[in-house]
Amino acid sequence: MKKDNIFWISYSDLMTSLFFVMLVLFVVSIGFLKYNLETTEEQLEKIQELQTAVQELPEEHFEYQSEYKRFKLNKQIQFDKGSSEIKPQYQSYLIDVGNSISNLISELKRQEEFEKFDIKYLVVIEGMASKDNYSRNFELSYERALSLYELWLNNNISFNPSDCEIQISGSGTSGIREYSGNEEYKNQQFLIHIIPKMGKIQNYAKK
């Protein structure tokens, strides 16, 4: 009987200890979840602020299409059929476009309110083509986007890879198209997508 009593006392102590362990883990978990929720809400708020700030690119170069969440160049860029070569009359304007994007990203990185966030940017250069029965329109649209990126590089417009990732794409004759019929040729254009990406909040002490 004595042995049985010792067994039940030990078992009771064990269960009590397990209860307190589970209680501590529960409290820690609730605190962790609450912290993550608050962090996520703060990150979401900053992403929304960034998206609003990104829309402040100069109107002389860009038209922001809110329904598509993208930027369209407000100057019509025309190519010869089957060509990805950017004509000289457009080059100065497109260089200004690249500088505007680079300056905006640099300015946002310097803003104190975003300093503790691990913010990076994805800039997508999308080339498009018109429906003109050319057999390589998908390849051609990519080559046109690439020619814009190369124009920027050749004019010392570069993006720090630690802050900004560049993606070059071509949608050919697919995607959201604004023009048809006699205005089909206007679909030969560049679209610019600037997407802020946020990582973990960095803890730091101000100097």
| pLDDT digits 0-9 by tens, 46-72 | 566 556 656 667 778 888 777 777 777
Long-range contacts of 152-156 (CB under 8 A, 24+ apart): 152/94, 152/95, 152/98, 155/95, 155/98
* pLDDT: which is higher, 75 or 70: 75
- Apex CA 183: angle with CA 127 and CA 186, to 5°? 20
Lowest mean pLDDT among 7-16, 99-108, 109-118, 197-206: 197-206
Cross-strand bridge partners of residue 119: 198
Site of tokens 């690439």 = 146
DSSP element (H, E) containing 51? helix 2-54
pLDDT (tens digit, 9 = 90+) per residue, 145-202? 999 999 999 999 988 888 888 999 999 888 888 888 888 888 888 888 888 776 554 4
Dist. CA 1–CA 21, nearest whole Å: 30
The bridge status of strand 164-172 relative to strand 117-128 is parallel
Domains of the chain: 55-201 (3.30.1330.60)
Dist. CA 121–CA 30, nearest whole Å: 33
Asked if pLDDT for residue 13 goes beyond 70, the answer is no
Dist. CA 114–CA 32, nearest whole Å: 23
Q: What is the pLDDT of residue 141?
A: 93
| Strands of 190-201's sheet in order across | 62-65, 70-73, 190-201, 117-128, 164-172
Asked if pLDDT for residue 128 goes beyond 80, the answer is yes
